[in-house]
Structure 1
Amino acid sequence: MELVTECAGDLPPIAANREDLTRVFTNLIDNAIKYNRPGGKVFIRARANGGFLQVEVQDTGIGIPKEEREKIFDEFYRVKTQETKGISGTGLGLCIAKKIVEAHHGEIEVESEMNAGSTFRVLLPL
């Protein structure tokens, strides 16, 4: 597994709870690793975007079926496909991440393509 970071050098500070945001990004990075392919990559990008700090966690993994994407932030929800059968989890990580991001008046969104990977984008107000 390869980890690639692309962070702008002039990132503005944000008013946020460090422990909460650590939990958000730990959950996202953990998922990017768990649902990746052997020899895959995880990209972490951060930059200012308008009035927001934008942080992306992207993987080159199995992807999320289109019909499942709206449900993945639901409590205890886990995508059930042949590829995810042997992967353990509680179905709480993304739900917790979304609640924390929203408590910080931010947004979390996902883009995904089957067999190509997923990108989770977190937008936090500056």
Structure 2
Amino acid sequence: MASSGPFQLLLSIVLASFAVASEPRLCVTSVKEMQKCGTFVDITCVQGSNASDCLEKIENNLADITSLDGGNIYKAGKCYNLKPIVAETYNGLPYGAGYFAVAVAKKSSNVTINTLQGK
């Protein structure tokens, strides 16, 4: 997990604000993430400068989803009115650490884990 950082959590930590009928736009924050994003099917890649920039892009309808760490997930809910739609726990990390990942969507959207399937 150390080589790609939080990007490997993409499938677990998602912010969504789209009506899933179209191709989701993934906001990434590094060159490596952009390269990886380019290999995904049915996803458009958007370059952001950092997590806050990606949250702004989602708010301004320039992106639909992004990968975040725990602190930014809190910010996404508090400042951008996003809601959890799925969660996953990562165990077996060094020093007995664990990581709880959450996917969130705008409270006003009807996005669920099922509507994201196959995207």
**TM-score interval, smaller chain:** under 0.3
TM-score (norm 1): 0.25
TM-score (norm 2): 0.26
Which structure: greater strand fraction? 1
Which structure: greater helix fraction? 2
Which is greater in Rg?
1
